[in-house]
């Protein structure tokens, strides 16, 4: 078996920043267990598998493909950065002739379109619901997204970006505290600050998902499908600029749409191209 495989850094304008994802192009169906084996071998937060929907489809000509995402531990129902990476491979390396691509996924149809400043993803917008406060001045608000099983903790406005960046999170403690299966990802978020001499952002975040084998995800599109809903209500804005404060870091442009979905914009750079053999 020989598979074309790529690694692309998503939500960044340059290589070696943002969030890397592996992308496999499938000419034919894989044996089911091979998806997980390849994802474990790549050992990135997500490996994406793009497959043809019909035998006559062409990666350079067709506009609709199947798409699945796997962490090293399990399949996940939605991954924004690996979708962006997949679109970047098709647009930039395969030279797909279409301006918009449709991906058929476990989260329904997702679209990626080329823009002057990157690629825009059309993702579901997930509402969040308030949870009981935990009596900690560190946390200003707690919300839960049942659609994505993500828990959102908003840190107090008294803290700044530097505090969020340097905050230590113990993965073993997270797994011990939450073992019911209700939570698959933890979002820590903070209101943005005036830019001053630097670029300003509407909000900051970090994302942790040890429940699916990912300690900290560098830049997370699916988390921003939740964050967009929360911060739009908090700030009264439909257009926002966000930064995920991982060590690699990444910027996301956000536009809430009238149809109840969200456009998430970001750059991507393909940094590796090769062939996987087995």
Q: Which residues have a catalytic role annotated? A: 46
DSSP 3-state of 88: helix
**Do residues 8 and 250 touch, judged by C-beta distance below 8 A?**
no
Q: How far apart are CA 126 and CA 173, in angstroms?
A: 27
Beta bridge partners of residue 268, listed in sequence order: 10
> What's the Cα-to-Cα distance from 191 to each of 129, 130, 146, 155, 278, rounded to whole Å?
18, 17, 23, 8, 47
Q: 206: left (phi > 0), else alpha (psi -120 to 50), else beta?
A: beta
SS3 136: coil
- How far apart CA 215 and CA 171 sit, in angstroms, is 7
Give the Cα separation of 204 and 201 in Å (integer): 7
Dihedral pair phi/psi, residue 240, rounded to 5°: -140, 160
**Which residues is 209 bridged to in the sheet?**
214
Bridge-based pairing of strands 139-145 and 261-266 is unpaired
Q: Cα angle vertex 47, ends 73, 13, to 5°? A: 130
Sequence length of the chain is 278
State the Cα–Cα distance between residues 188 and 202, nearest whole angstrom. 14
């Amino acid at each position: 078996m020989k598979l074309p495989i790529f690694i692309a850094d998503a939500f960044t304008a340059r290589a070696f920043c943002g969030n890397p994802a592996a992308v496999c192009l499938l000419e034919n169906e894989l044996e089911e267990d091979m998806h997980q084996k390849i994802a474990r071998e790549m050992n990135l937060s997500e490996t994406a598998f793009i497959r043809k929907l019909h035998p006559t489809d062409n990666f350079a000509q067709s506009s609709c493909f199947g798409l699945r995402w796997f962490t090293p531990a399990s399949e996940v129902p939605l991954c924004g950065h690996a979708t962006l990476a997949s679109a970047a491979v098709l647009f930039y390396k395969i030279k797909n002739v279409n301006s918009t691509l449709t991906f058929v996924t476990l989260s329904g149809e997702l679209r990626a379109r080329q823009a002057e400043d990157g690629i825009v993803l059309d993702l579901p917008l997930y509402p969040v619901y308030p949870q009981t406060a935990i009596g900690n001045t560190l946390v200003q608000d707690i919300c839960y997204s049942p659609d994505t099983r993500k828990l959102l903790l908003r840190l107090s406005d008294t803290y700044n970006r530097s505090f969020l960046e340097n905050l230590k999170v113990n993965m073993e403690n997270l797994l011990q505290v939450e073992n019911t299966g209700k939570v698959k990802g933890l979002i820590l978020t903070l209101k943005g600050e005036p830019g001053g001499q630097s670029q300003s952002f509407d909000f900051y975040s970090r994302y942790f998902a040890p429940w699916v084998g990912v300690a900290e995800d560098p830049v997370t599109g699916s988390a921003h499908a939740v964050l967009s809903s929360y911060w739009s209500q908090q700030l009264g804005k439909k257009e926002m600029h966000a930064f995920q404060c991982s060590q690699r870091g990444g910027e996301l442009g956000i536009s809430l749409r009238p149809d109840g979905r969200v456009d998430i914009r970001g750059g991507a750079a393909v940094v590796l191209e090769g062939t996987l053999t087995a």
